[in-house]
Amino acid sequence: MATNHKVAGSSPARETMSAKSKANGHDIVYNGKDWVYLDNGEVVDVRPCARCGAKPVAVKVKIPADLSHTGKEFWKYAQIDACIAPIVKALQDAGIDMRGSCCGHGRGVGDIELQDGRAVVILNPEQAHTFYVKNALVAELEQPLASNEKNESSSLSEGARVELRS
C-alpha cells in the first residue's frame, strides 16, 4: 500500500511516497532507499517487541517455494518473535510447514500461518480471557436451546431468557 508519509527526523517539507508495514509492532515505511521507523526516521534494525520488550530470536525455518525468490523451498534462520519462537520451532521440528508468524505485539491477535491455509491463533492473557468468557456465554445460550427446543422459553443464567417461537 503506497501512501504519503512525513518521515520523523526529516525536514517538515520532506514528504515521500512510500510503502508501509510493521516491524515487531513498530510502524515502518519504505522511503525509496531504506525501510525506516515512522516515529524517528531511523533505518530499521532489530527493535524489541512493542508489547513484551524482547528482541526476536533466530529460528531455522523452511521457506516454501511460492514465497522463495528462487521458486524452490529452502531453509534459513529467520527472526521470530521471542514469545512465540518455541511454538514456531516445535511446529518446524514436527514437519508442519508455515508461511509466517507474528505475536501481535500487544496491538492485536497473533498468529502462525500454516502452509495448508490454517492458522494457529496466539492470544495474550487478556484476549484469552475475553475469548473464553464469550464462548462460555455462547455455549450457555446454545445448550439450553438445543435441549429444550419444544419449550416456549428456556431459563439461562440469572436474569437471562430466550424466547423460542415457531
Q: What is the pLDDT of residues 15-35, one digit of tens each?
A: 445 588 877 778 889 988 888
Predicted model pTM:
0.61
Question: Tens of pLDDT along 144-163?
Answer: 655 555 554 444 444 444 44
Taken as a whole, the chain contains a residue count of 166
**pLDDT computed for residue 90 by the predictor:** 96
Domains of the chain by residue range: 2-37, 57-122, 126-163
Placement of cell 462460555 in the chain: 136
3-state helix, strand, coil in the chain (%, to 5): 20, 35, 45
